[in-house]
Chains A and B, each alone.
Chain A
């Protein structure tokens, strides 16, 4: 079974803090993704990575950066957290970037920025 894990289920941070959200997958997948999920807006893609040290912006990259130093790990970074970044963050991975590939999701991190 594919397993995608995220470092925290719940996180509370203060405005201006630097926040790291970690995601690890154990299936040697090439592609990894970060989404945020907000009520009424569904899932929106923040960034994705198709290889180590490679990244591409998604639909809403502003205020975020990412890091992929190892194939199994993909980090989302909020350089200076703001209250409008309070959200559910979901990480996913897929075998490669083919249109056929299924994305498998982690359990999510619910981030609250005070």
Chain B
């Protein structure tokens, strides 16, 4: 069973639009971490945010914000006033305490965001 689901395969928006990338996860652990990574066309995955399962406060960093809701097992990512430089593939990932205690990440399949001028 897929543990991290990013239902949106591709999203296309026009610059300055707001866009939300969805992430739904599944775990039986009470202690876990959620991550978002950005992969621009250059290929390198860039770490954006880490959130632990005990902290449901929303996080804002500039134009980026994250909404973590344990009740719906979701960790959604919103980009406000999108820019062309936001065009990338975005991955949501889960780290569970029980998964071999090696901090291995379970990735979603990614959402490709295209921001057009």
Chain B contact-residue range equals: 20 to 34
Which A residues form the contact surface with B (CB < 8 A)?
9, 31, 33, 40-43, 45, 48, 50, 56, 58, 88, 90, 92, 94, 96-108, 110
Q: Is the CB of B100 within 8 A of A56?
A: yes
**In the complex, which of the residues B33, B43, B108 contacts A108, with contact meaning CB atoms closer than 8 Å?**
B43
Q: Mark B75-117, 1 if CB is under 8 A from A, else 0.
A: 0000000000000000100011100111111011110000000
Q: Which chain B positions have C-beta within 8 A of A33? A: 104
Q: Is B33 a contact partner of A99 (Cβ separation < 8 A)?
A: yes
* A-B contacts at CB below 8 angstroms, number: 68
The smallest C-beta distance from B48 to any residue of chain A, in angstroms, reads 10
Tell me whether A31 and B102 are in contact in the complex, defined as CB-CB below 8 angstroms, given that A40-B109, A43-B91 are known contacts: yes
CB distance from A50 to the nearest CB of B (A): 6
Closest to A101 in B: B103
Kindly list 17 other residue pairs between chains A and B, CB separation below 8 angstroms, not including A45-B104, A100-B103, A103-B105.
A48-B104, A56-B102, A58-B104, A94-B103, A96-B103, A97-B100, A99-B95, A99-B101, A101-B103, A102-B35, A102-B47, A102-B50, A103-B47, A105-B37, A105-B46, A106-B44, A108-B44
